[in-house]
Amino acid sequence: WLEELKVKDLRVTGKYEEWKKGKEKTKWLASIQADVGRTFTEEFTLNDLSKKKDLEEKLENILVAYAVYNPDIGYCQGINYVIAFFLFVSDLREEEAFWLFVGMHDGKFDHDHLKVTSTIGLFQEGFPLTYYYMGVFDVIFQEKIPKLKKDIDLLQLSPFLWLFKWIYMIFLLNLPFGYTIRIWDCILSDGISSIIQYGICILQVLEPQLANKDFSDTIAIFKELKKGTYLPPIEDFIKKAHGITIDWDAILNNKELQSILSKKAVKNVISHTQHNDRASASQVVLELSLIHISEPTRRYAISYAVFCLKKKKKK
């Protein structure tokens, strides 16, 4: 991963130690400390909490260092999980985890299908890259699994209840830990846009289970993915995902999808992300905000805030 992310070209000796001491320089410290305490659950740490205090200290150091290093992004919820993940794969080497994150978000992918050069757009204000991939995913979903797409549309199952987190967190909170590491191997090698293929593959695997299911059962099936339920052996899954052909040139030439990557276009999110509902931009932002705010503390598939929102819509 260090090689794929070109970390040696980004790393500056001594700077990490300087940045991690910059707590007084960042306005994000309170948010960082609040989320650090919510990161290392039994589920996320493979049931090993013996080093929780040490993990939290290292995670806080890295988050502070990144907020100082990149004040334009600073900190937002979700970054804590990505960096915690890098801590695990780097065998708890704090500075290495920091530079892996820098390489992923501020480096450059030079072989991506959709010419996306970094993942920083996942966390930028307005989530432009996340919305873009949701739009692309919707198009490919319709093309590859039209019957399942129709069923989920009929359930009025918002993509913000499942797809948003798949993309925003690159499956970190949705698949078994070992599964996720292997998928990240491929994504870092093939380019971040290959996340579309893996998402579509998950739905192809789940299609028999999702047939004729109601709203709550569908959500429950998605939740079971974290336990590995329904998933084939990882190498079989990767082979299946690589076999999914996508006309990347057609996506690149789709002006409506490409427009999402501009910050102005975020205010007019295309209908692909709302199951072809002509929802106003304010409605989209409201739904996202409730889910995003409730995410760190919720333990179930649908948070209380989201439940209230959906119930209100049905009245």
At 111, is the pLDDT very low, low, confident or very high (cuts 50, 70, 90)?
low
Mean pLDDT value of segment 213-239: 95
At 8, is the pLDDT very low, low, confident or very high (cuts 50, 70, 90)?
confident
Looking at the predicted structure, is the pLDDT value of residue 161 above 60?
yes
pLDDT tens column, 123-154: 887 888 899 999 999 999 999 999 999 999 99
Contact yes or no for 1/96 (Cβ under 8 A): no
Looking at the predicted structure, is the pLDDT value of residue 243 above 80?
yes
Strand, coil or helix: what is 82?
helix
* Amino acid 105: pLDDT: 81
Mean pLDDT value of segment 49-54: 74
Give the Cα separation of 95 and 7 in Å (integer). 11
Give the Cα separation of 97 and 149 in Å (integer). 38
CB neighbourhood size of 98 (10 A): 27
Give the Cα separation of 70 and 223 in Å (integer). 34
Contact yes or no for 100/86 (Cβ under 8 A): yes
* Amino acid 43: pLDDT: 57
* Amino acid 246: pLDDT: 93
Mean pLDDT for the chain overall: 80
* Amino acid 48: pLDDT: 57
* Amino acid 49: pLDDT: 59
pLDDT tens column, 112-122: 778 787 788 88
- Closest among 217, 239, 215 to 310, alpha carbons compared: 215
DSSP state of 121: G
CA distances from 118 to 1, 46, 191, 275, 279 (A): 14, 28, 9, 27, 29
Sign of CA dihedral 239, 241, 242, 245: positive
